[in-house]
């Protein structure tokens, strides 16, 4: 199987967002492979181990994003490509999905493209479905299990994790699958993988390389970012002789404050 | 001069950190209270290759360098000292000693399973009646035909009850010209007839680890168990300490970092006199000292690791790194308790465990008093490194990473 996993480099989850000169800034937070994408990489590797084939990690991002791809290689991906072009600098998900779809087309005969359910920085969760739409492939998102994969018949059956329960969905290959953390436990990179990844020469693809040399503009822009003012929080203790009295007083206070 | 880590170092560091933080940190307090080692620790460290991190691929290792070994030790001890102790005895005292001094046959038989983590190694030097006075080892190894017969007691041996093999120093010459000529090194299978082992309970710290004793009663081992030549035991033991002490230094540096991180988090959270205690200058002074000590600890072990990679003798530098970082980790843990106030004195927070764990490393792998003497010897010119018959090889990526032997 020819498997793709699309990854993003994001700030570490411990990072906090600040506004600096009207722009969102993660400060000097360490940059990592998007934690949700680790599950996608793991699923791509598990699928390859079961079905054979190869896994290519694709990333749209700046030069530093090479580190995220190296992490994916160290975990066991066979190839990696960094898509990098000044034209993509302020990419929103519509641009990202256009770029990734074009790169997947360039790779040819792809059977499966895995995504994490979202990136921890923007938390949009739409890039995977948008790529599927652009490629005309089924979009299987929020996948918690792949229950059946038939490489010969080119079909896939997955369990989607919904608030109400699990939904079983089948579709033809090729398909885009975005995964949730319930699907697996990502492996740590092996030392051998680390050594291989650290020596890897990761190819760069420009806009022209993937046939996107026209005007590319994001639909989403951030003209102004404001930090919400902190409210003057106050704590009030409701006291009383017994629970019923306390509950009564609490209800009165909530009505008074027009909360209920 | 380049202080930077390579991508390889950073990825190895992150991998070991993720393992320790995700798999050990959540339950370490309970294991420390139980005074037992979590059973999955050794198999998991073996599976992940951590137990063979800096050993050549041709001997079953992972082919990383000595800086990677230091980084791994720092990450492990930032979670609990017992994890780093495993590295000190398994990698430092046993596997690296065999890499330096072992014959091809010994490497095949003992080093490969150790590097793969299929077998666990420990170092058996200390005895009930001697520690620093290595030349006064009482355990005997007497030649009997083509075998040696070992008798004696070893004490305070990390992983004594968990290990399969021990690098052991014993007396073979009973009328030596010089006391240090009396000793020889052996690699022995702890399943051999006449060997019994046990754990020591009631230790101040490293309670989630295994520290014990080894008793040898007429233990017969073949003559090819001898590591190096007869009479080379003192030199072999000391060169093993150059490896072991490096892991202790790097680990203690991780412990300083753990104290610093816990103190910063608590200082930002706790309020006193109407403001965060991080705004109080005396708390800041403690935190500044920890930050400085962490930096010095790192620089010292990086330098020693860099020398090891270059194949340079590093007894002096490793001694300084070990003594500095272990003393500083004890101080950092004590000050971290001060920052935490009453909570620091309870096991609700990890800093009391850091203090208890830090104390042992000031005693083992050369007491810090012995380290002062070593360093004074170098500074005064009374101690000099003499060439060894077999030096520890420097890190050569091609040799370390190729499969061919």
* Smallest CA–CA distance from A192 into chain B, residue: B62
A194 at B interface, C-beta within 8 A: yes
- Closest approach of B15 to chain A, Cα-based (Å): 6
Chosen for mutation from B11, B21, B268 (greatest number of chain A CBs closer than 10 Å) is B11
DSSP secondary structure letter of residue A198? H
Is B405's pLDDT higher than 70?
A: no
Is A229's pLDDT higher than 80?
A: no
B15 → closest Cβ in A67, A70, A189: A189
* Smallest CA–CA distance from A64 into chain B, residue: B7
Distance CA B72, CA B87 (A): 9
DSSP secondary structure letter of residue A27? T
A191 at B interface, C-beta within 8 A: yes
Burial class (CB in 10 A: 0-12, 13-18, 19+), B146: exposed
Beta carbons of B15 and A188 less than 8 Å apart? yes
Task: Sort out which chain B residues have CB atoms less than 8 A from A71's CB and list them.
Answer: 11, 14
Give the per-residue pLDDT at B127.
Answer: 97
* Smallest CA–CA distance from B6 into chain A, residue: A198
Task: Sort out which chain A residues have CB atoms less than 8 A from B11's CB and list them.
Answer: 70-71, 74, 189, 194, 197-198
Give tens-digit pLDDT for B148-176.
Answer: 999 999 999 999 999 999 999 999 999 99
Q: Is the dihedral of CA A130, A134, A139, A144 positive or negative?
A: negative
Instruction: Name residues whose C-beta falls within 8 Å of residue B336's C-beta, 6 or more positions apart in sequence.
Output: B259, B260, B262, B263, B286, B290, B344, B351, B354, B355
A70 → closest Cβ in B11, B15, B49: B11
Instruction: Tokens 């979009």: give the residue.
Output: A139
The reply to whether B365 belongs to the active site is: yes
Give tens-digit pLDDT for B51-74.
Answer: 999 999 999 999 999 999 999 999
Q: What percent of chain A has pLDDT over 90?
A: 78
Is B80's pLDDT higher than 90?
A: yes
A33 at B interface, C-beta within 8 A: no
* Smallest CA–CA distance from B19 into chain A, residue: A188
Chosen for mutation from A185, A194, A198, A202 (greatest number of chain B CBs closer than 10 Å) is A194
Predicted model pTM? 0.90
Give the per-residue pLDDT at A260.
Answer: 85
Instruction: Tokens 């007894």: give the residue.
Output: B315
Give tens-digit pLDDT for A1-19.
Answer: 999 999 999 999 888 888 8
Helical ranges in chain A per DSSP H? 35-51, 66-75, 93-107, 127-135, 191-199, 243-256
Q: Is the pLDDT higher at B295 or at A121?
A: B295
Task: Sort out which chain A residues have CB atoms less than 8 A from B8's CB and list them.
Answer: 194-195, 198
Give the per-residue pLDDT at A225.
Answer: 83
Q: Out of B365, B369, B391, B403, which one is annotated catalytic?
A: B365
Beta carbons of A195 and B6 less than 8 Å apart? no
A212-233: buried (b, 16+ CB within 10 Å) or exposed (e) per residue? beeebeeeeeeeeeeeeeeeee
Distance CA B37, CA B43 (A): 12
* Smallest CA–CA distance from B52 into chain A, residue: A191
**Chain A / chain B CB contacts < 8 angstroms:** 42
Instruction: Tokens 């073996």: give the residue.
Output: B46
A30 at B interface, C-beta within 8 A: no
Distance CA A106, CA A91 (A): 20
Beta carbons of A194 and B12 less than 8 Å apart? yes
Give tens-digit pLDDT for B116-154.
Answer: 999 999 999 999 999 888 888 999 999 999 999 999 999
- Closest approach of A202 to chain B, Cα-based (Å): 14
Instruction: Tokens 């980084």: give the residue.
Output: B71
Find the mean pLDDT for residues B349-378.
97
A170 at B interface, C-beta within 8 A: no
Q: What is the mean pLDDT of chain B?
A: 97
Give the per-residue pLDDT at A224.
Answer: 83
Chosen for mutation from A33, A77, A186, A188 (greatest number of chain B CBs closer than 10 Å) is A188
* H, E, C per residue of chain B: CCCCCCHHHHHHHHHHHHHHHHHHHHHHHHHHHHCCCCCCHHHHHHHCCHHHCCCCHHHCCCCCCHHHHHHHHHHHHHHCHHHHHHHHHHHHHHHHHHHHHCCHHHHHHHHHHHHHCCCCEEEECCECCECCCHHHCCCEEEEECCEEEEEEEEEEEECCCCCCEEEEEEECCCCCCCHHHHEEEEEEECCCCCEEEEECCCCCCCCCCCEEEEEEEEEEEEHHHEECCCCCHHHHHHHHHHHHHHHHHHHHHHHHHHHHHHHHHHHHHCEECCEEHHHCHHHHHHHHHHHHHHHHHHHHHHHHHHHHHHCCCCHHHHHHHHHHHHHHHHHHHHHHHHHHHHHHHCCCCCHHHHHHHHHHCCCCCCCHHHHHHHHHHHHHCCCCCCCCCCCCCCCCHHHHHCCCC
What residues of B are in the A interface, CB distance below 8 Å?
Answer: 6-8, 11-12, 14-15, 18-19, 48-49, 53, 57, 62-64, 401
Task: Sort out which chain A residues have CB atoms less than 8 A from B18's CB and list them.
Answer: 188
Give tens-digit pLDDT for A77-94.
Answer: 999 999 999 999 888 999
Beta carbons of A74 and B11 less than 8 Å apart? yes
- Closest approach of B317 to chain A, Cα-based (Å): 28
- CA-to-CA dists, residue B392 to B99, B240, B389, angstroms: 8, 10, 10
Beta carbons of B63 and A194 less than 8 Å apart? no
Give the per-residue pLDDT at A215.
Answer: 75
- Closest approach of B7 to chain A, Cα-based (Å): 6
Q: What is the mean pLDDT of chain A?
A: 93
Is B216's pLDDT higher than 80?
A: yes
Give the per-residue pLDDT at A108.
Answer: 87
């Amino acid at each position: 199987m020819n498997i793709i996993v699309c990854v993003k480099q994001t700030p570490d989850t411990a990072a906090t967002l600040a506004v600096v000169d009207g722009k969102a800034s993660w400060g000097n937070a360490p940059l990592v492979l998007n934690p949700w994408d680790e599950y996608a990489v793991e699923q791509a590797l598990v699928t390859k181990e079961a079905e054979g084939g190869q896994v290519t990690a694709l990333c749209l991002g700046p030069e530093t994003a090479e580190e995220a791809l190296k992490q994916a290689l160290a975990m066991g991906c066979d190839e990696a490509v960094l898509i990098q072009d000044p034209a993509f600098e302020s990419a929103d998900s519509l641009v990202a999905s256009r770029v990734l779809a074009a790169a997947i087309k360039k790779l040819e005969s792809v059977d499966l493209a895995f995504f994490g359910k979202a990136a921890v920085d923007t938390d949009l969760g739409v890039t995977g479905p948008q790529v599927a739409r652009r490629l005309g492939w089924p979009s299987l998102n929020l996948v918690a299990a792949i229950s059946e994969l038939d490489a010969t018949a080119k079909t896939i059956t997955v369990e989607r994790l919904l608030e109400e329960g699990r939904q079983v969905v089948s579709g033809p290959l090729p398909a885009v699958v975005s995964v949730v953390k319930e699907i697996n436990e990502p492996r740590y990179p092996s030392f051998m993988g680390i050594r291989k990844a650290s020596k890897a020469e990761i190819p760069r693809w420009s806009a022209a390389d993937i046939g996107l040399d026209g005007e590319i503009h994001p639909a989403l822009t951030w003209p102004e970012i404001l930090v919400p003012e902190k409210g003057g929080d106050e704590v009030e203790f409701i006291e009383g002789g017994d629970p019923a009295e306390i509950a009564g007083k609490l209800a009165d206070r909530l009505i008074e404050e027009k909360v209920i | 001069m380049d202080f930077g880590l390579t991508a390889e170092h950073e990825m190895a560091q992150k991998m070991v950190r993720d393992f320790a933080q995700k798999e050990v940190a959540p339950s370490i307090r309970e294991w420390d209270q139980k005074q037992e080692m979590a059973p999955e620790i050794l198999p998991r460290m073996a599976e992940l290759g951590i137990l063979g991190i800096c050993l050549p691929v041709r001997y079953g290792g992972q082919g990383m360098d000595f800086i990677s070994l230091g980084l791994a030790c720092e990450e492990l001890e930032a979670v609990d000292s017992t994890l780093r102790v495993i590295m000190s005895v398994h990698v430092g005292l046993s596997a690296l000693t065999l890499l330096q001094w072992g014959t091809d046959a010994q490497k095949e038989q003992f080093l490969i399973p150790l590097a793969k983590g299929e077998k666990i190694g420990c170092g058996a030097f200390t005895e009930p009646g001697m520690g620093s006075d290595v030349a006064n080892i009482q355990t005997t190894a007497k030649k009997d035909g083509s075998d040696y017969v070992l008798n004696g007691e070893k004490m305070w041996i990390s992983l004594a009850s968990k290990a399969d093999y021990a690098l052991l120093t014993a007396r073979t010459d009973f009328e030596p010209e010089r006391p240090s000529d009396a000793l020889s090194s052996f690699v022995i299978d702890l399943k051999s007839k006449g060997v019994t082992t046990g754990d020591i309970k009631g230790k101040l710290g490293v309670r989630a680890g295994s520290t014990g004793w080894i008793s040898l009663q007429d233990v017969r081992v073949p003559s090819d168990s001898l590591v190096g030549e007869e009479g080379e035991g003192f030199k072999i033991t000391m060169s093993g300490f150059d490896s072991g002490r490096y892991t202790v230094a790097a680990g203690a540096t991780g412990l300083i970092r753990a104290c610093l991180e816990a103190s910063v988090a608590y200082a930002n959270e706790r309020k006193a006199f109407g403001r965060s205690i991080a705004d109080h200058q005396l708390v800041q002074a403690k935190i500044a000292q920890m930050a400085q000590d962490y930096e010095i600890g790192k620089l010292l072990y990086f330098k020693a690791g860099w020398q090891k990679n270059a194949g340079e003798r590093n007894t002096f530098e490793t001694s300084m790194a070990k003594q500095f970082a272990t003393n500083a980790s004890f101080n950092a843990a004590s000050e971290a308790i001060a920052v935490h106030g009453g909570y620091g004195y309870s096991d609700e927070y990890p800093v009391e465990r850091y203090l208890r764990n830090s104390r042992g490393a000031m005693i083992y792998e050369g007491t810090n008093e012995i380290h002062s003497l070593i360093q004074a010897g170098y500074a005064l010119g009374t101690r000099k490194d003499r060439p060894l018959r077999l030096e520890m090889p420097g890190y050569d990526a091609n040799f370390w990473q190729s499969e061919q032997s």
